[in-house]
Amino acid sequence: MRRPLVAGNWKMNLTLAEARALAQGVASKAASFGNAEVGVIPAFVHVAAVGEAIKGSNVALGAQDAYWEKNGAFTGEISTAMLVDLGVKYVLVGHSERRHVLGETSAICNKKVHAILNVPSLSCIYCIGEKLEERQANKTFDVCRSQLVDGLAGVDKAKAERLVIAYEPVWAIGTGLNATKEQAQEAHAFIRGELAKIFDAATAASIRIQYGGSVKASNAAELMSQPDVDGALVGGASLKADEFAGIIAAAAAAKR
């Protein structure tokens, strides 16, 4: 059984005090985590403080991005070593906002995936998903396939145990319009099949595939009930500890 992973992507939100309070609020809900693994992913400038706030709890620390070079003249970028130093475990790569607002390509993502998986203590949450017009043109599978093939090129299957895929249809992110459980399961099963081609069947069976896009406490149970849905990457609903805890509890109950 794959252990579900529920991670809260706080994006470019919260003040320092709010981030600390939310982190403490999430950590205080640990009784509802059950078998679920839980992570919070604050903005870079809050990573250290959030790490302090969750110290000693079973909430893992995440970061929203990382640069692939080890150090040097890369103004504004953050290295994997800096993140490790702060206790980060999960690093997002290729979030749709980075792809579609900031112009990140799967080739760029690939360099980041390698840099992250080359650090034994880090796990990479690689995000993929189609835009609305791509779904309407029946290109969902093509888009997911090419994001997987290009983004994961050259990744050694021995490192894939630290890889998580987040399937996030772009039309569902921040819109209140989540994929149905059938749409999610169909995409996740397809993605697992592609992972089997890239790695092998056993590796694909072990990789967690999170669903993301308007997950809330009220729709989490049905999404998490799907066999290939192994947790959630949560944006808006992760900014309230109670709501986030409801999603975690749903994932834990579905994957007992």
3 state DSSP class of 1: coil
Q: Alpha-carbon distance 13 to 179, whole Å?
A: 24
In this structure, which amino acid lies at residue 193?
Answer: G
Q: Which stretch binds ligand PGA (CB under 6 A): 138-146, 183-191, 194-202, 211-219?
A: 211-219
188 included as an active-site residue: no
Positions in 132-171 near ligand PGA (CB under 6 A): 168
Could you give the residue ranges of the DSSP H alpha helices within the chain? 16-27, 47-53, 80-85, 96-100, 106-117, 132-136, 140-151, 181-198, 201-206, 217-224, 241-254
Dig out the tokens for 107 from the structure: 């080739």
Indicate the residue among 8 and 79 with the shorter CB distance to ligand PGA. Answer: 8
Please report whether residue 4 would count as binding ligand PGA according to CB under 6 A.
no
Residue number with the shortest CB distance to ligand PGA?
A: 235
Please report whether residue 235 would count as binding ligand PGA according to CB under 6 A.
yes
Q: Alpha-carbon distance 42 to 44, whole Å?
A: 6
* Eight-class DSSP state of 184: H
Please report whether residue 215 would count as binding ligand PGA according to CB under 6 A.
yes
Q: How many residues does the structure list for the chain?
A: 256
95 included as an active-site residue: yes
Please report whether residue 174 would count as binding ligand PGA according to CB under 6 A.
yes
Total chain residues near ligand PGA (CB under 6 A): 13
Please report whether residue 234 would count as binding ligand PGA according to CB under 6 A.
yes
Please report whether residue 173 would count as binding ligand PGA according to CB under 6 A.
yes
Binding site for ligand PGA (CB under 6 A): 9, 168, 173-174, 212-215, 233-237
Active site residues: 95, 168
